[in-house]
Amino acid sequence: MRQTTDRSRLRLIVVRVLVFSLFATLFARLYYLQVVSGNSYRQAAASQSLREVVVQPQRGLIVDDQGRPLVANRTAWVVSVDRTVLGKLTPHARHVALRRLSDAVSTSPRRIEQALVTCGDPGSVRGRCWNGSPYQPVPIATDVRQSVALRILEQQEDYPAVLARQQSVRSYPSPYGVNLADIVGYLSPITAGELKQATQDHDTSVNGASTVGRAGIEQEYDRYLRGRPGYQKVAVDSMGRVLGDEGEVQGHPGDTLVTSIDARVQSATERALHDAITTARATYDPVTHRNYRADSGAAIVLQAKTGRVVAMASQPTYDPSQWVGGISPTQLARLYSPKAGDPLLARAYQGQFAPGSTWKPIMTVGALNNGLGPNTRLDCSSGFQVGNRLFHNYESASYGMIDFAKALQISCDTFFYRVGYHFWQKYGSDPTDVHARDPLVGEAEAFGFGRPTGIDVPGEAPGRIADRKWKLAYWKSMKSYYCGIDKKPPAGTSGFLKLFAHEFCLEGNYYRAGDAVNFAIGQGDTLVTPLQLARAYAALANGGTLYEPRIAKAIVSPSGQVVRRIKPAVQGHVKDPAHAIPYVTNALLGTAKTGTMAWKMTGFPLDRIHIRSKTGSAEVYGKQSTSWVASYDDDYVVLMMVTQAGTGSGTSGPWVRKIWESLYGVHGSAVDTRDALIPGVVAPDALPSFQPDGSILPPKPRATGPRSTGSTP
């Protein structure tokens, strides 16, 4: 009995020791956590209760040369979802919350779910996933109605994890009704690849919630326009609800971009192009026996002495505001649709077309600088025989022996056929000689054709000079295709295609006399952009300087300080040993007086506004002719092109005249520069004045010269 009592007492002592040891360990651990490591844990706890939220900067304005806003900003309601709070809801509560949100913002629950997945995670959908910080609320809908946003704010218990805030989005004031889509471009969310590259470059101006420029000057000058984001620290509770602000790092709004575009001239140019196309579509084509399709067009106004773009329009076009808040799949499909005319294609600098007879002034400079002279006279016959093919003059007109000046004014094809044939015989009658000299090709290259002009917008097309080297390269790339048709024609192949495939397979690399004569009149496989042609005519106007066209004039900080002036850049100079450029400029004065533009310029004060012009009607196989008019004086180049619209003067001529009238304030035969669209007729080099109160004042007008003062009866 005594032995049992001793054992019980021993067990009790052991239990007491164990209990004491446990309490000692517990108190020691508490002492360690609260005293020894207290500071570190307090910091960790504090860091978990703070969240860093990105505050997007306001994007910079884009203004015209007079300070009129072309692209601005406005406040819009944005609905976002806080994924941290959403993740703490029960599956049922989450489903209900997203369904309510879907009904409120008219977006499917599936698209909301896709938007909430971090890019790169399982289930992420490219273009819909979230690139931003995991702590940043994810935007679900932009530009929602105020009533929807207020309902979300006022009924927070029905929309847990949903936020509604006001943010700055792009707006398009459209002064004088301008469109400008091809010039300004649009914005879209930054991609994962772009964000990764920015991180590698230590670029802190973008983040996962940033929108960046995708086309036009929005893309070209994005680094100035986007500004620098700020960061706000907010305290949150265990459910992620915001309790208060804990500090903010101020962002920096974007800079203002001043352009050389004049909104009034841009409006007149867009309207003239629209009216030219509308009129052509209502006009009967006697060749095809149906109305002209007039399916696209472009019009450009350049400053001849600087290469600055005053106006540039393309058709078809689109409304840039479609991209604000995200574009729908239906809208995006239309922008890329050939049936809709590919509205995203900026015809002015991305469209490539046969130049037709507007090419002839360039060929004249090449001919006069390579052995032929002002006194050279060639036969403007109704046709010109090359081998077994007769090349016809336009409408088979015949004018006998004429000089270059007359040939330009009446646009005689057979005259220039003979010019092209002359140089082919002299330097390259061997059709297989790829390296034969060709002065006319050399002149086209000297005027900048076959390469981008260097305009300050992305995506410019290079055009094409269809010389011997190009023809050989094209033959090599297409030989197997056409030889296949030649050997085994598919069912339904036309006789024309069979013959073409046979000849191409055998001798498609040969540069024959027919290629040379076609090249001399801007036909064949040579292609130019309207901007390339306008830039070349500016070189004719200024004596041979090739400028890189510029839209931007300056970058101005939010405080009104000039950050950077963007001066016209010279790309090259056209050598002119025979003084052919002044000869051509003088000859083209006659086009509007007695040549192909005369019937559209009756009554225009040509004695005061000395317009040089060249018309063109480019033929395209299987389509109606492309209408061209290129014109210039000492200050401006005005060019218009409309595809499948007939003759140059007939379709584009009246509307090119309209643009000239608006530039100088012409009413009938009177000139009153007080009515000119640009004060002082030519835009000054000075910039608009940015005032402390945020207003923008136009620059002081240039003093008008003797030619353009007052009015004449």
For 545-560, write each residue's pLDDT tens digit.
999 999 999 999 999 9
What pLDDT score does 234 carry? 63
Q: Which of 230-234, 299-303, 452-456 has the lowest mean pLDDT?
A: 230-234
Residue 377 has pLDDT above 60, yes or no: yes
**336-347 mean pLDDT:** 91
Total number of domains constituting the chain: 2
Residue 490 has pLDDT above 70, yes or no: yes
Range of the domain at 664: 263-467+511-675
Residues 189 and 307 in one domain: no
Backbone angles phi, psi at 403, to 5 degrees: -100, 180
**Burial annotation 180-195 (CB, 10 A radius, 16+ → b, else e):** bbbbbbbbebbebeeb
Q: What is the DSSP letter of 118?
A: B
Pairwise CA distance, residues 449 & 518, whole Å:
16
The reported pLDDT for the residue numbered 245 is: 60
Give the Cα separation of 401 and 408 in Å (integer): 13
Q: Please tell me the predicted confidence (pLDDT) of residue 42.
A: 55
- Distance CA(320)–CA(226), nearest Å, equals 18
For residue 407, what is the domain's CATH number?
3.40.710.10
Give the per-residue pLDDT at 250: 79
- Percentage above 70 pLDDT, the chain: 90
Q: Does residue 108 surpass a pLDDT of 50?
A: yes
Q: Which residue has the higher pLDDT, 263 or 251?
A: 263
For residues 160 and 119, membership in a common domain is answered with: yes
Chain centroid, CA 343 distance in Å: 11
Cα-Cα-Cα-Cα dihedral sign, residues 317, 321, 324, 328: negative
Whether residues 198 and 314 share a domain: the answer is no
Interacting residues of 604 by C-beta distance below 8 A, sequence separation 6+: 592, 611, 657, 660, 661, 666, 669
Residue that is last in its domain, among 211, 237, 259: 259
In a domain, 438, yes or no: yes
Q: Which two tokens stand for residue 149?
A: 């946003």
Binning pLDDT at 50, 70 and 90, where does residue 707 land? very low
| Bigger pLDDT: 49 vs 660 | 660
Give pLDDT tens digits for 186-237.
988 887 788 888 888 888 888 877 889 999 999 999 999 999 888 777 666 5
| Confidence (pLDDT) at 111 | 87
Question: What is the tens place of the pLDDT at every residue in 664-706?
Answer: 999 999 999 999 999 999 988 899 999 988 899 999 887 654 4
Residue 312: predicted pLDDT = 98
Q: Which residues contact 18 (CB under 8 A, 6 or more apart)?
A: none
Choose the final residue of a domain: 259, 278, 294. 259
**CA distance linking residue 51 with residue 63, whole number of Å:** 37
Kindly state whether residue 160 falls inside one of the protein's structural domains.
yes
Of 216, 240, 259, which closes a domain? 259
Mean pLDDT of 47-57: 67
For residue 707, the tally of other CB atoms under 10 A from its CB is 15
The C-alpha atoms of residue 501 and residue 483 are separated, in whole angstroms, by 6
Residues 156 and 272 in one domain: no
Asked if 170 and 59 count as a contact pair (C-beta separation under 8 A), the reply is yes
Kindly report the pTM of this predicted structure: 0.87
What is the arithmetic mean of pLDDT over 165-178?
91
Residue 5 lies in a domain: no
Between 66 and 1, residue with greater pLDDT: 66
Residues 217, 456: contact at Cβ < 8 Å? yes
Give residue 513's Cα distance to chain centre: 39
In this structure, what token pair is assigned to residue 320? Answer: 């840039």
**For residue 6, what pLDDT band results from cuts at 50, 70 and 90?**
low
The overall average pLDDT reported for the chain is 89
Evaluated on CA atoms 167, 173, 178, 180, the torsion sign reads negative
Q: What is the pLDDT of residue 139?
A: 86
The tokens describing 273, both together, are 């192009």
Tokens of 515: 């290629």
Least confident range from 165-169, 499-503, 579-583: namely: 165-169
CA geometry: angle at 83 spanning 82 and 89, to 5°? 100
Confidence class for position 45, pLDDT limits 50, 70, 90: low
Q: pLDDT at position 502, please?
A: 93
416 and 374 in a common domain: yes
H-state helical runs in 370-507: 404-410, 413-427, 439-446, 468-487, 495-507
Distance from C-alpha of 600 to C-alpha of 650, rounded to nearest angstrom: 8
Residue 710 — pLDDT band, cuts 50, 70, 90?
very low
Q: Are residues 250 and 273 in the same domain?
A: no
What are the phi and psi torsion angles at 563 (to 5°)?
Answer: -85, -40
What is the model's pLDDT at position 706? 40
Q: Are residues 83 and 191 in the same domain?
A: yes
Return the H-helix or E-strand segment holding 309: strand 309-315
Both 178 and 225 in one domain: the answer is yes
Residue 360 lies in a domain: yes
Region 243-268: mean pLDDT is 87
Residue with tokens 């036009």: 216
Partners of residue 314 on adjacent β-strands? 298
- Judge if the upstream peptide bond of residue 490 is cis by omega within 30 degrees of 0: no
pLDDT value, residue 657: 98
166 and 309 inside one domain: no
At 709, the pLDDT band (50, 70, 90 cuts) reads very low
Q: d(Cα 384, Cα 402) in Å, to the nearest integer?
A: 15
Residue 447 CB partners (closer than 8 Å, separation 6+): 362, 365, 536, 539, 546, 574
pLDDT surpassing 70 at residue 64: yes
Q: Are residues 294 and 417 in the same domain?
A: yes
pLDDT value at position 712? 36
pLDDT higher than 80, residue 38: no
Nearest-CA neighbor of 225 among 247, 253, 206? Answer: 253
Instruction: Return the pLDDT at 109.
Output: 87
Q: What is the mean pLDDT of residues 101-122?
A: 86
Question: Is the residue at 495 inside a domain?
Answer: no
Position 82 confidence tier, pLDDT thresholds 50, 70, 90: confident
**Is residue 480 one of the residues assigned to a domain?**
no
> Do both 59 and 180 map to the same domain?
yes
pLDDT at residue 505 tops 90: yes
